[in-house]
Structure 1
Amino acid sequence: FILPKKCLRTRIVLKSLEKLKEFCCDSAPPQNRVQTEPLKERFAVLPKCTDFDDIDLLRAKNAVSSEDSKSQTSQKDKTVFDVSRSGSSSLGGCENLQKTCDSKPSNKRTKSIYTPLELQYIEMKQQQKDAILCVECGYKYRFFGEDAEIAARELNIYCHLDHNFMTASIPTHRLFVHVRRLVAKGYKVGVVKQTETAALKAIGDNKSSLFSRKLTALYTKSTLIGEDILLNRNFSLKFKLDDAVNVDEIITDTSTSYLLCICENKENVKDKKKGNIFIGLVGVQPATGEVVFDSFQDSASRFELETRILSLQPVELLLPSTLSEQTELLIRRATAVSVRDDRIRVERMDNMYFEYSHAFQMVTEFYAKDVVDVKGSQSFSGIINLEKPVICSLAAIIRYLKDFNLEKVLSKPKNFKQFSGEMEFMTINGTTLRNLEILQNQTDMKTKGSLLWVLDHTKTAFGRRKLKKWVTQPLLKIREINARLDAVSEVLYSESSVFGQIENHLRKLPDIERGLCSIYHKKCSTQEFFLIVKTLHHLKSEFQALVPAVNSHVQSDLLRTFILEIPELLSPVERYLKILNEQAAKIGDKTELFKDLSDFPLIKKRKDEIQEVTHRIQIHLQEIRKIIKNPSAQYVAVSGQEFLIEVKNSAVSCIPTDWVKIGSTKAVSRFHSPFVVENYRHLNQLREQLVLDCSAEWLEFLENFSEHYHSLCKAVHHLATVDCIFSLAKVAKQGDYCRPTLQEERKILIKNGRHPVIDVLLGEQDQYVPNSTNLSGDSERVMIITGPNMGGKSSYIKQVALITVMAQIGSYVPAEEATIGIVDGIFTR
């Protein structure tokens, strides 16, 4: 069989087009995978299209048609492939649009340049130029333009030209995986969802137009909270939400996720040396609710600022568009040392948002609404009396978090903590943190090989975060240090089974600290809420049962107080758990979520209406049986279509002509009667309205639960402290460790001490040679260490510093004997 020449030419053209599409997708210039600055202006050609910003004006000029079907047909009928439009520009049809706008009006109707969906995307993109938008389209999320090319490159998915834009897509049930991947690579990701349903749209005023969509969520490294990124290892193992999901692909970050805002002020500088500057900063963890602030004068080396960055380890920096040269150098250095997907993301804001007058007004407006009593007035006064650069940083962070609907985390000033308080903790600057390898080693910047790695035997994510804070903030008060040491000693030597039971409970816990914060922001799913509340209720019951044993067997004041307080702090959760239907919560069905509807009258009313319509359709079945002369006829449901009447094809002639044929097979045909058509449509509308009503009631339910947020967080912090004590007790069991003696006298006496990290790394095969140290304010105040290269001089010096740090966080130390006078700071070169 020989094809006609015309068909052969058509096939050749199609193959060429496909190859050109692949070339356009694959030939994009390589870009940095990790975005350390906001995405550049992607709409570089926008200014050429002077009429582009006003979509209505385009429609008035007949440059755009509102008929989607005709626009798609006109695109398919085109025989000329516009190469300039298929390039990597995210506005591939802009030049054509400009020509249309500038051309003289003709008598013929102008064909559509952009489809309605593309116009909708363009309008949303104008509002979020620096974000990658995932647009919900039925059963998938689509990317357009340069977003599609980035998604194709980073997610390893296919991208192709469709109408005016390159496009790529992902299934809706894999959104949480791909959002996390893009965020991990440094991008800001926006999720755009359909806000209309088919049934409600059919009775609305815009039933012939496109589905309305809006941006429902934004995500960056520090703001990764919400239902779209819910599924993690804990939840998937608990509920088996999706067996097809490979949970190993998903990030389960338990580290800190600080968003750190930095502001400079040259006016407050006391020492006018070149490069000196006054700096204010505010750091917030939206996922856990922690807020820290500080203000200080820094030298040209930005030594103090580096200390805070290394200690907080932010995942995202919020900065004004311009900073001093020395600070910019430090920021570049801090982002450069990060590796792979751990690199710090940098977001810039216009300098005007950091101006004090503008910032003071925003902070005042944000906190003034909470001034309803004396306590609120005191908190408000404390905020507005902060240093000017701190106020500026706070205002910028409030503005930034409003885009993510996470500003509520800043609404309680009593939760604010100053980084450098009144000599509450030992001073460990950035250089010391790095050189002593306290948080990460200097080889590959990983935790293994650091002091934190040696001490971390925690069972929970929130315990791990608290231990990290302990390691970077050793205590200065002997009473507090001894309280921890007493607790560690009791866990180490106690023969009671209480501690074993508590440790078993801790081992099974999900990250309830982050879960509570997600609930507080009203960004949790029913699955997450139920898991967190059920876990808290279980903890309350278990710890309540331990109260008699704790009273009789636990001697440590710290452990006894914290363990006994936990049941009381968790008492509110039981009432909320009783309201929920467990099965509905696990599958995310909000329409069946609440057991007793007496507290939810709107839901009850909607369900009664649904039941009434369903009852009418069932009664109508009697009439249908008479019409088709089949007394045993029943409704059937096929492919989501309910209330179908099946009739054999041989008997179709007896069906009234006004019945609607829905489908057929070789044997039967299926119909809806006019009565069923009308009532079934009304039923679907009521069902979809019920979903909206239930979602509104769900948010109100979360708001009520959030009233107990602070007491529940206090219980979680108690659990984290207990977890840290157990971890330090495990460290003491590792080898020849001893309890250090703390005293006010200036003295460091260490007998046969060992480097804690090297000792663990060497293991039992190659024992570390112990060394003693004897320093005192009254005798030997200085030691000069000499010896050959690679002889262990640096390791010995670091050993003394690390043993001192361990002693002041309340840990046993690797030595036969240790007496440590309180050290208020450790410094290295």
Structure 2
Amino acid sequence: MMAQYMALKARHAGTLLFYRMGDFYELFHDDALVAAEVLDITLTKRGKTQGEQIPMCGVPFHSYEPYLAKLIKAGHKVAICEQTETPDEAKARAKREGRPASKALVNREVVRIVTQGTLTEDNLLSARESNFIACLCAVSGAYALSWMELSTGSFFVQPLLQDDINSALERVAPQELLVPDKIEVSFDPALNITRQSATLFHSDNARKRMEAIYDVQALDSLGDLSRAEITSCGALLDYIARTQVGKMPYIAAPQKVTSQASLQIDAATRRSLELTRTMNGERKGSLLACIDKTVTPAGARALQASLSSPLTDIARIKRRLDYIECLMQETPLREALRDHLRAMPDMQRALGRLSAGRGGPRDLQMIASGLAIAETLRGFLQSVPRCSEVFGSLLSCIQSAPALTDLQDTLARALKEDPPMLARDGGFIAKGYHPKLDEFKTLRDDSKKIIAKLQGEYQQDSGIPALKIKFNNVLGYFIEVTSKHADALMQNPDTYIHRQTMANAVRFTTTALADLERDIAIASEKSLALELSLFDDLLARCTAQSDAISLRAHSIASLDMSAGLAQLAIENNYCRPQLDDSKAFAIEGGRHPVVEASLKAEGQSFVPNDCDLGSAQRLWLLTGPNMAGKSTYLRQNALIAVLAQMGSFVPASSAHIGITDRIFSRVGASDDLARGRSTFMVEMVETAAILNQATDRSLVILDEIGRGTATFDGLSIAWACVEHLHEVNRARGIFATHYHELTALTEQLDALSCHSMAVKEWKGDIIFMHHVESGAADRSYGIHVGQLAGLPKAVINRAKSVLDLLQSGEKSNALQKLADDLPLFNISAENVPEASELERFLDDLDPDSLSPRDALDMIYKIKNLHTQ
């Protein structure tokens, strides 16, 4: 047995081998050590090798998935090794091969390799998030990225420039990335990378693999794919075939994605704007979580895909906005759609499991239910003439098709209302669907009634009321009559066959009774075998309609996304944005959607602000104190642009946006210690990317460029960046800064205008108005913000005196004066004030020793001390 294990392990190096032994998956040697630690299960021993005991641990076969999920989450790959024959079959094989049956070893084979990117089971996946596996390769200097979701069959490919690779990977967010082992690309350390031999990335082999899978003579029918794109797709398909051990699930033909078709958002900007994840990596608090009103898992995944890749095609954007507007105006329709969508099963993933050979009767039921609900939804849309016209293209994807109607009817007739999850247990075919199966089940479940009925028939036929059908372990079922009635049956030997004569009774059988006995004995076995055969037939019917089912499922997901965005717009008073080919960016009453939602939950309101980056003032210089809302304002305008181009209404009173090709956001400070980059280096790298890539159709938001170095260095860098953005990039943008010297640039740069965050001063304190107004701020109020943050009073006073000296006009002597007057001891003393009488009284007080009367007296005494 161990030799068999070692041979299988050698063929699947780099994986943890789940070796099936009866009701357990066992792991040995180093695999056992790793698994026991990750799973926190008992480590035992089994046998010895070279004098050393073999470590072993195991997990139950019937409940292995939670253990599998832990190992996969920990970054391991797991090879599932099953027994491919029964012990009896192994013994029979041994006899045929001339070996002792007692030493027969059951054959085992790896049937699947599970990785983070190849999960299909519901309990291993997040229902509302996609689980992509991607493949990056280069052919003759040209890069291509392909990615798919195995659980739904979605498949995409995109040509890339090397500089755009990490941005694309941030957008796709694959759970696993395949690359050639010697590819010269610097990846984010957080990526789960699977390196493959370069020999697996051969374009000719990739082409043949694709032609075989999609059953085409040439790949022209799949679109105009480059060698790099074909190689990437083929290598990914090859990896899927190897991990699924030859059983290819349903995978749609790859859809080609181009950079020009979507709004480009680099990795740093995506993180800065917290589109789908916050800086802490959590979904909660992100823009996605804020706008997600979908009611189906597939709709949630469609929303995430749309938000991750906003459009640049005005016609497609307007179509999505038309969907939303129609559903906003038709409230009864929207509510009816959302009510029925809540019952919509995840057809995409059900089809994925079925095609991968891991589906069950419940997945078939999900397909049947999903097709039926889709018909209902189609009827709702068609019942409203305006919506029937607006949703014309979507309706064409879910219109009735004879093949799908037949499939839906067949599944509805074939399956019980609440079938079991696993086909192997049987009991999922409805009564009346298959007559022979009904017979088997009746025999299995109602044998006593059938025997009683047959006994009555024989009594009537023979005229012997005392005739009985009995059973024993020797004869099985038999007919028994008294000796005086035996002659009547003996006269009909063609029907009644003599079995045994007793002292007072005679026993007979019939051909029908013998057949019935045999059928009863094997009814359960035949019932299960026939059900499994019927399952295979229903499975084949479903997979034959994979493309049509997938198209309908994707269309329903889009409908759910539109209905959810309509609900979002109504609940939060969003407006329909106007998008065109101009270079306008005019927002009235704009709000930050996430911050607004947070304030709303606390019963507070958000202060809206306008923003007009028209040609006359396409670059804003934004000044004002920290905590006044600059960063929120910067981000809200970028988020409004993202929402508009994904085809959503936006948080504003009105919005006119000329299509943006790229959005860049440099807001906030962070280092990148994994790559040896300081905070300032990260800032400069990201700023360099903006200045090198932004165009006159881009939107740029920059916050405090140059703050990470010496004052004059930082000012110089910020000054040059503003000039470059204005004169070279000519992008629409907002540049937030504390360098008030930059306001002088408005005299030289005609499209640069100054704006600031409004602040009110009241009795020495400041009040943040969170309102953007024209003109530059007169100062940054840094000391006031420090005071609000709780800096010691001595520090605040010292800071004020230092500031007064620096601003006194004696800057040449200011530093020396400050150095000569360091009030360290005064500050120290000031920081430790003498305890008051009230504080001393409270220190000496023992509350536990007080009676109620004493406690009341103490309260009066404390009040008196406080007023003194």
Q: Distance in 1 between matches of 2:39 and 2:187?
A: 31
Aligned counterpart, 1:702: 539
Q: Distance in 1 between matches of 2:320 and 2:363?
A: 33
Answer yes or no: is 1:349 the counterpart of 2:349.
no
Q: Distance in 2 between matches of 1:758 and 1:410?
A: 43
CA contact (8 A) 1:584 1:592 kept: no
The one-letter code matched in structure 1 to 2:111 is T
Query: Which runs of structure 2 are paired with 1:358-507 in the superposition (5 Å)?
Result: 359-367=203-211, 376-377=216-217, 379-380=219-220, 386-405=225-244, 415-421=253-259, 423-442=260-279, 444-495=280-331, 497-507=332-342
Aligned counterpart, 2:34: 150
Aligned counterpart, 1:173: 62
CA contact (8 A) 2:440 2:519 kept: no
Question: What is the CA-CA distance between 1:306 and the residue it aligns to?
Answer: 0.9
Question: What is the CA-CA distance between 1:391 and the residue it aligns to?
Answer: 3.1
Answer yes or no: is 1:574 the counterpart of 2:574.
no
SS of residue matched to 1:827: strand
Answer yes or no: is 1:189 the counterpart of 2:70.
no
Q: Distance in 1 between matches of 2:85 and 2:418?
A: 23
Aligned counterpart, 2:187: 330
Greater shift in the superposed pair: 554-563 or 478-487: 554-563
CA contact (8 A) 1:286 1:406 kept: no
Answer yes or no: is 1:559 the counterpart of 2:396.
no
What's the CA shift string for 1:704-738, capped at 9, x where partnerless?
32121111111111111111111111221233422
Greater shift in the superposed pair: 428-437 or 681-690: 681-690
Aligned counterpart, 2:108: 213
Aligned counterpart, 2:9: 125
Answer yes or no: is 1:140 the counterpart of 2:24.
yes
Structure 2 CA distance for partners of 1:382 and 1:610, relative to 1, 3 Å: same
SS of residue matched to 1:130: coil
Structure 2 CA distance for partners of 1:591 and 1:797, relative to 1, 3 Å: closer
What's the CA shift string for 1:203-254, capped at 9, x where partnerless?
55454312222222221111112xxx46x4xxxxxxxxxxxxxxxxx65443
Question: What is the CA-CA distance between 1:409 and the residue it aligns to?
Answer: 6.5
SS of residue matched to 1:734: helix
SS of residue matched to 2:303: helix
SS of residue matched to 1:403: helix
Q: Distance in 2 between matches of 1:794 and 1:556?
A: 43
CA contact (8 A) 2:249 2:352 kept: no
Aligned counterpart, 1:768: 606
SS of residue matched to 1:582: coil
The one-letter code matched in structure 1 to 2:623 is T
What's the CA shift string for 1:315-360, capped at 9, x where partnerless?
0011222222xx2x3242xx1xxxxxxxx43222112222x3xx31
Question: What is the CA-CA distance between 1:511 and the residue it aligns to?
Answer: 2.2
Structure 2 CA distance for partners of 1:346 and 1:424, relative to 1, 3 Å: closer
SS of residue matched to 2:151: coil
What's the CA shift string for 1:583-619, capped at 9, x where partnerless?
7942635766667999999x999999999xx9xx99x
Aligned counterpart, 1:806: 643
Answer yes or no: is 1:737 the counterpart of 2:574.
yes
What's the CA shift string for 1:281-324, capped at 9, x where partnerless?
211211111111122332xxxx4111111100000011222222
Structure 2 CA distance for partners of 1:184 and 1:370, relative to 1, 3 Å: closer
SS of residue matched to 1:529: helix
1:511 to 335, 340, 346: 346
What's the CA shift string for 1:70-103, capped at 9, x where partnerless?
xxxxxxxxxxxxxxxxxxxxxxxxxxxxxxxxxx
CA contact (8 A) 1:533 1:573 kept: no
Question: What is the CA-CA distance between 1:180 and the residue it aligns to?
Answer: 1.9
User: Relative contact order (alpha carbons < 8 A, sep ≥ 6): 1 or 2 greater?
Assistant: 1
Query: Which runs of structure 2 are paired with 1:532-611 in the superposition (5 Å)?
Result: 532-540=366-374, 542-543=376-377, 546=380, 550-552=382-384, 554-555=386-387, 557-559=389-391, 561-563=393-395, 565-566=397-398, 568-569=400-401, 570-578=404-412, 580-582=414-416, 585-586=419-420, 588-589=423-424
Structure 2 CA distance for partners of 1:399 and 1:608, relative to 1, 3 Å: farther
CA contact (8 A) 1:584 1:590 kept: no
SS of residue matched to 1:143: strand
CA contact (8 A) 1:484 1:558 kept: no
The one-letter code matched in structure 2 to 1:504 is D
Q: Distance in 2 between matches of 1:479 and 1:753?
A: 24
Question: What is the CA-CA distance between 1:825 and the residue it aligns to?
Answer: 2.1
2:593 to 756, 759, 772: 756
Question: What is the CA-CA distance between 1:192 and the residue it aligns to?
Answer: 1.9
Q: Distance in 1 between matches of 2:417 and 2:91?
A: 32
TM-score (norm 2): 0.62
CA contact (8 A) 1:360 1:395 kept: no
Aligned counterpart, 1:310: 170
Answer yes or no: is 1:257 the counterpart of 2:114.
no
Q: Distance in 1 between matches of 2:530 and 2:90?
A: 16
CA contact (8 A) 1:454 1:731 kept: no
Structure 2 CA distance for partners of 1:506 and 1:736, relative to 1, 3 Å: closer
What's the CA shift string for 1:391-428, capped at 9, x where partnerless?
33233222211123387879877x3222325x322222
Structure 2 CA distance for partners of 1:118 and 1:682, relative to 1, 3 Å: farther
SS of residue matched to 2:244: coil
The one-letter code matched in structure 2 to 1:555 is C
Q: Distance in 1 between matches of 2:150 and 2:518?
A: 43
CA contact (8 A) 1:262 1:280 kept: yes
Query: Which runs of structure 2 are paired with 1:625-704 in the superposition (5 Å)?
Result: 634=471, 698-699=535-536, 701-704=538-541
Structure 2 CA distance for partners of 1:607 and 1:788, relative to 1, 3 Å: closer
Q: Distance in 2 between matches of 1:125 and 1:452?
A: 43
Question: What is the CA-CA distance between 1:189 and the residue it aligns to?
Answer: 1.4
CA contact (8 A) 1:288 1:513 kept: yes
Question: What is the CA-CA distance between 1:578 and the residue it aligns to?
Answer: 4.8
TM-score (norm 1): 0.65
Aligned counterpart, 1:821: 658
SS of residue matched to 2:642: helix
Q: Structure 2 regions of 5+ residues with no counterpart?
A: 49-53, 96-100, 453-467, 478-515, 666-686, 688-868
SS of residue matched to 1:720: helix
CA contact (8 A) 2:90 2:107 kept: no
Q: Distance in 2 between matches of 1:252 and 1:684?
A: 45
SS of residue matched to 1:702: helix
SS of residue matched to 2:605: coil
Q: Distance in 2 between matches of 1:369 and 1:455?
A: 38
The one-letter code matched in structure 1 to 2:304 is K
Q: Distance in 2 between matches of 1:388 and 1:552?
A: 48
CA contact (8 A) 2:277 2:284 kept: yes
CA contact (8 A) 2:250 2:546 kept: no
Q: Distance in 1 between matches of 2:625 and 2:653?
A: 27
Query: Which runs of structure 2 are paired with 1:42-57 in the superposition (5 Å)?
Result: none
The one-letter code matched in structure 1 to 2:657 is I
Task: Count the aligned residue pairs.
Answer: 602
Q: Distance in 2 between matches of 1:134 and 1:491?
A: 51
Q: Structure 1 regions of 5+ residues with no counterpart?
A: 1-116, 233-249, 269-277, 336-343, 619-630, 645-678
Q: Distance in 2 between matches of 1:478 and 1:389?
A: 29
